[in-house]
Amino acid sequence: MKKLLFALLTLPCLAVSASAQTVAFVTEEYAPFNYRDGKVIKGATVEQVEKVMADIGIDYTLDVMPWARAFSLARSTPMTCIFATAHNASRDGLFKWVEPLLIDRNILITRKGSGVSAADLEDAKKYVIGTQRDDYTEVILKEKGFTKLDVASDFNATLRKLLGGRIDMMPISELYFDKLKTDQPLEMVTILSSQPMSIACEKSFPDDLLARMQASLDKLIARGEQKQIFLKYGLHLLK
């Protein structure tokens, strides 16, 4: 009887332990890195996350949502990770990190024919710059002294504002811009920043699991698979 009672009492603990090894990944709509294609979530960073988790044999979920919501969940919810997140000084202590999914430069762009030009970042401050709420570019712009900011809920909303002439410039991944400019009337103005783009996990995330994810990503990069994934999406990694 005592053995049966002990077994019944430990069942909830076992269930919690098992569920604790399920990682919840959240990201935003930002093709070709992470995006929905019908009911399927795909992209150059998504494939890396999938390969890492398959390699280490850990269950996970993946969801696409507005960046501000995803960022808030990754800050406050155990076993939750957000990607691809810029790893900079202001964010360093907020998360535990697995990196890099890529090294990227962020540039300021405008629509062709807008008449907007800037020789440097100081010159660019006279214009209205659009960005996304809780995106790392919002922090960078504020740190660099930009005050004329238009903050939207997500990247696509900012892009629509730029193309519609409601803002003058917006920051964007240089890798993404190289692909986007073939379909949209956009042009580069100046460089904003350079940083690793990473997986960022809530601070109580298990260190042993984090180490396994990092080791798997390191192997993926060493084998040249990261480069091949980016080429598949028409992207060339920056050196």
In a domain, 2, yes or no: no
Q: How high is the pLDDT of residue 1? A: 45
Q: pLDDT band for 175, please (50, 70, 90 cuts).
A: confident
Mean pLDDT in residue range 95-108: 95
pTM reported for the whole predicted model = 0.74
In a domain, 141, yes or no: yes
Bridge-based pairing of strands 80-86 and 23-27 is: parallel
CB 64 within 8 A of CB 27: yes
User: Which residues sit opposite 121 in a β-bridge?
Assistant: none
Mean pLDDT in residue range 120-142: 94
Lowest pLDDT segment from 12-26, 129-143, 214-228: 12-26
Closest to 173 measured CA to CA, from 80, 119, 236: 236
Q: pLDDT band for 72, please (50, 70, 90 cuts).
A: very high
Domain identity same for 78 and 124: no
Amino acid at 206: P
In a domain, 14, yes or no: no
Domain identity same for 119 and 85: no
Mean confidence (pLDDT) of the chain: 90
In a domain, 237, yes or no: no
Q: How high is the pLDDT of residue 104? A: 85
What's the half-sphere exposure (Cβ side, CA atoms, 13 Å) at 10? 6
* Long-range contacts (CB closer than 8 Å, 24 or more residues apart) made by 140-145: 140/88, 140/106, 140/171, 140/192, 140/193, 141/171, 141/192, 143/90, 144/192
Domain identity same for 136 and 71: no
Q: How high is the pLDDT of residue 239? A: 56
In a domain, 17, yes or no: no
- Residue 169 is given by DSSP the state B
b/e sequence 127-152, b meaning 16+ C-beta within 10 Å: bbbbbbebbbbbbbbeeeebeeebbb
Q: pLDDT band for 13, please (50, 70, 90 cuts).
A: very low
* Percent of the chain topping pLDDT 90: 80
In a domain, 225, yes or no: yes
Domain limits for position 176: 104-195
Mean pLDDT in residue range 75-80: 98
Domain identity same for 202 and 171: no
* Number of domains forming the structure of the chain: 2
Domain identity same for 84 and 65: yes
Task: Locate 34 and state its tokens.
Answer: 């992470």
Q: Furthest-apart CA pair in the chain: how many Å?
A: 82
Domain identity same for 149 and 189: yes
Domain identity same for 176 and 217: no
pLDDT tens-digit map of 39-52 = 999 999 999 999 99
